[in-house]
A and B are shown apart, each in its own frame.
Chain A
Amino acid sequence: MNASTVRSDDVPGAAPTGAPATVAFERSKDGDLVVLLSGAWRLGAPRPDPQALTRELAAGPLQRVVLDAQGVEAWDTALLAWLRAAIQACEARGIAVDRSRLPPGVSQLLRLAEIVVEPAQHDEAPPPTFLARVGARTTRIGHDVIGTLRFLGNLTLALGRFVTSRAQFRRSDLYRLIQDAGADAIPIITMISLVVGLILAFVGALQLRLFGADLYVADLVGIAMVREMGAMVVGIIMAGRTGAAYAAQLGTMKVTEEVDALATFGISPIDFLVVPRVVALFLMVPLLCLYSIVLGILGGAVVGVFMLGLSRQLYFDQTLRSLSLPDLYGGLFHGVVYGLLVGITGCLRGMRCGNDAAAVGAATTSAVVTGVVAIVVADGILAVVFNVLGI
């Protein structure tokens, strides 16, 4: 049978044409079982239950199984997969299989499927015990910690080279990254900061009104934005926006061996890829913080002026009275720290990314999570430090 003539024009998986696939069994006197296959064997069409053969094999002693597909009108993988399972079932019982009545194309493909190029290493070992799992996990954490420390060490050295103008990187890359981490982030920072200012003022106003202390909404918004929220808003936005982008970019470069290519040319990937990114965030986040603070106070003023009926002059005077320069320096210092943390975690996750697309996804997620956690932890530590220093 020439298989090319039996391939009808139907789309694979579409309703097949021809008689349904059937199987019949005949036992000959000399202990042979003839498996008679007929009809159209197509994927998506009903096929005889493979168990039928198993039952037949178990029914009595057999010398040989003859597979006869001369009645098959059309076939595709459906027939091949069925036959393969049948042959395996016979072989498992030590029964010889006669394939001489299969179409040549079918037996050729079946033979091809039997050649084992490299056996898969099946893990026959029992699942690791609880202690082994704890041990493996601990070792992995150890490796991660060492890897992270090595990255931080290398980055510190590279930043040293950057400051002394010995780092290998392209200035144009740095400018592009600065634009990406700075100017391009302004729209989202504008929107979120305004809303945060509005919310702070609104929630504050509801409470302060009870005491007739409406005016202190200005203090509340001003102090909150300057000391904490400005930097926090920018830090979290940048972790989700830029930190994730860094992890994805570097992770993809790792997967496509671009990072290795740099290293083999003697260009330090840390110098070339990480330093410009960290520096861009280090420079831009404090500026964005300043911008966010102004926008947050404006948002608060909207509530103060339009909802509480305070005069604009009064609101801004009150805001200025409540703030001091050290507050602003403290807020901007938060920004510097957050910028560094977001840049470092994004690049760290990207550079320690695995080898496939899924790993890039994991690295990106991890960059955002680590970035946000680092920001919150750093905020706690800074609060304690500022308190001790009396700022």
Chain B
Amino acid sequence: MAATEYVGRIPDREPHIEVRGLELSYAGSEILRDVTFTVGRGDVFVIMGGSGSGKSTLLRSMIGLLEPGAGDIAYAGKSFTRAERYERANMLRRFGVLYQKSALWSSMTLAENIGLVLEEYTDLTPEEIREVASFKLALVGLSGFEDHLPGEISGGMQKRAGIARAMTLDPEILFLDEPSAGLDPITSLRLDDLIVALRESLGATIVVVTHELESLLAIGDNSIFLDGETKTIIARGAPRDLLEHCPDPKVQAFLRRSEGRSTPEKR
């Protein structure tokens, strides 16, 4: 182990998320150790790595679903790991999370899925809630599907509805766990556009766990590469930079996988 970590070009932005010396284990076995990185405000930050490298585990710990064994996660300079319950709940409200399987509440319509959060946290009238829900759904191309149940729409549409729900409270940080998994190329492209638009127009910081090379090369400003064997970060920097300059064979194998298929172009 102890392959020297490759550090590529990293955009210079005000830090928004700071992860220091994080150690994660699950059911008694160590998943990640000594994970340290910084996400800049407004970055599209990609967490990549092979299957079982702990990408989703890291994401879960960043949104408070998994307590780290050691280390600290801080948002805008405030520790999340050591925050009091109330403070943590306040921080959580500024996050939007898209789960791998969308996790829409199946007994509620799409508008109700979004409306529930608004009912809880705002004092909007039912008409206003409906209006906001309808706008969020329109953003992901689901205009007119307000009264559909999750079971009545396709998997790709569920994913988009999940993103709409994640954006409900205009989050400052959007966590997306495999957003384009299971989407067709056109929808996936549209999703990338949406992510970029959200970053540009709302200034949201976006943390994405993804395998989709085209997508991560197109939208990622910065990234870390997790390795299942050494259980830590083995490369960091802009994904394009890693593709072109990172000497690590694992990173190259991962990023060159798409060679021979359509070459991803920066959009």
**CB-based contact A119/B144 at 8 Å:** yes
Contact with B along A1-44 (1 / 0, CB 8 A): 01111010101110000000000000000000000000000011
In order of increasing CB-CB distance, the 3 nearest A-B pairs are: A4-B203, A105-B201, A120-B144
Q: Mark A119-141, 1 if CB is under 8 A from B, else 0.
A: 11010000000000000000000
Establish whether residues A114 and B138, one from each chain, have CB atoms under 8 Å apart when the complex forms: yes
Chain B residues, Cβ within 8 Å of A76: 170, 202
Q: Give bound CA distance, A43 to B94, whole Å.
A: 14
A357 at the interface (CB under 8 A from B): yes
A354 smallest CB distance to B (angstroms): 7
> Once the chains bind, are A77 and B136 in contact (CB under 8 Å)?
yes
A146 to chain B, nearest CB (A): 23
Q: Mark A345-366, 1 if CB is under 8 A from B, else 0.
A: 0000000001111110100000
| A109-B141 in contact (CB<8A) | no
Q: How far is the CA of A116 from the CA of B141 in the complex (A)?
A: 5
Interface size class of A (residues with CB under 8 A): 35 or more
B106 at the interface (CB under 8 A from A): yes
Query: Is the CB of A115 closer than 8 A to any CB of chain B?
Result: yes
Q: Contact at A43–B135, with CB atoms within 8 Å?
A: no
Specify which chain A residues have a CB less than 8 angstroms from the CB of B185 in the assembled complex: none
What distance in Å separates the Cβ of A358 from its nearest Cβ neighbour in chain B?
A: 4
Residues of A within 8 A of B193 (CB): 112
Complex CA gap A357/B136 in Å reads 24
Do residues A7 and B90 form an inter-chain contact, with CB atoms below 8 A? no
A94 within 8 A of partner (CB): no
Q: How far is the CA of A114 from the CA of B137 in the complex (A)?
A: 11
B187 at the interface (CB under 8 A from A): yes
A381 within 8 Å of B by Cβ?
Answer: no
Q: List 13 contacting pairs A-B, 8 Å CB cutoff, sorted by A.
A: A7-B202, A43-B132, A43-B169, A77-B135, A81-B135, A113-B135, A115-B190, A116-B144, A119-B144, A120-B145, A357-B105, A358-B106, A359-B151
Which B47-98 residues have a C-beta within 8 angstroms of A? 76, 90, 93-94
State how many residues of chain B have any CB contact under 8 Å with chain A. Answer: 46
B29-37, B121-129, B210-218: which lies at the interface: B121-129
The smallest beta-carbon distance between A102 and chain B, in angstroms, is 11
Contact partner of A81 among B107, B131, B201, CB < 8 A?
Answer: B131
Chain A residue at minimum C-beta to C-beta distance from B198: A109
B172 within 8 Å of A (CB atoms): yes
Min Cβ gap B252→A in Å is 34
Is A85 part of the binding interface, using a Cβ–Cβ cutoff of 8 Å?
yes
Q: What residues of chain A lie closer than 8 Å to B7, measured between beta carbons?
A: none
**Across the interface, do B201 and A106 meet the contact criterion of CB distance under 8 Å?**
yes
| Residues in B whose Cβ lies below 8 Å from that of A113 | 135, 138-139, 143
Q: Mark B89-116, 1 if CB is under 8 A from A, else 0.
A: 0100110000000000111000000000
| Residue contact A12 to B138, C-beta cutoff 8 Å | no
- A117-B187, A356-B151 known; A12-B170 Cβ under 8 A: yes
Contacts A109-B139, A112-B197, A356-B150 known; A11 to B90 CB distance under 8 Å? yes
In this assembly, does A165 line the interface, its C-beta being within 8 Å of a C-beta of chain B?
Answer: no
- Which partner residue on chain A sits nearest B130 by CB separation? A81
A105 and B202 contact, Cβ closer than 8 Å, known pairs A77-B136, A115-B141: yes
| Chain A residue at minimum C-beta to C-beta distance from B203 | A4
Tell me if A43 and B122 are in contact (CB < 8 A): yes
Q: When A11-B93, A109-B139, A115-B141 are in contact, do A2 and B122 touch as well, CB less than 8 Å? A: no
Residue from A2, A11, A85, A115 in contact with B203 in the complex, judged by beta carbons closer than 8 Å: A2
CB distance from A53 to the nearest CB of B (A): 14
Task: Tell me how far the C-beta of B1 lies from the nearest C-beta in chain A, rounded to whole angstroms.
Answer: 36
Taking the closest CB of chain A, its distance from the CB of B128, in whole angstroms, is 8
Asked if B243 lies at the interface with its beta carbon under 8 angstroms from chain A, I say no
Tell me how far the C-beta of A112 lies from the nearest C-beta in chain B, rounded to whole angstroms.
6
**A118 and B141 contact, Cβ closer than 8 Å, known pairs A77-B135, A81-B132:** yes
Q: A12-B94, A113-B135 given as contacts; is B106 within 8 A of A357 (CB)?
A: yes
Q: Find out whether the CB atom of B122 lies under 8 angstroms from the CB atom of A44.
A: yes
Give the Cβ gap from A342 to chain B, nearest Cβ, in Å: 27
A76–B204 Cα distance when bound, in Å, is 12
Contact with A along B183-203 (1 / 0, CB 8 A): 000010010011001101111
Report Cα–Cα, A122/B171, bound state, in Å.
31
State the CA gap A75–B128 with chains docked (Å). 16
Contact of A117 among B107, B142, B148 (CB under 8 A): B142
Among A114, A355, A358, the most chain B Cβ lie within 10 Å of the Cβ of A358
For B157, the closest partner residue in chain A by CB is A118
Shortest Cβ distance from residue B108 to the other chain A in the assembled complex, whole angstroms: 9
How many angstroms from the CA of A114 to the CA of B170 in the assembled complex? 19
CB distance from B188 to the nearest CB of A (A): 12
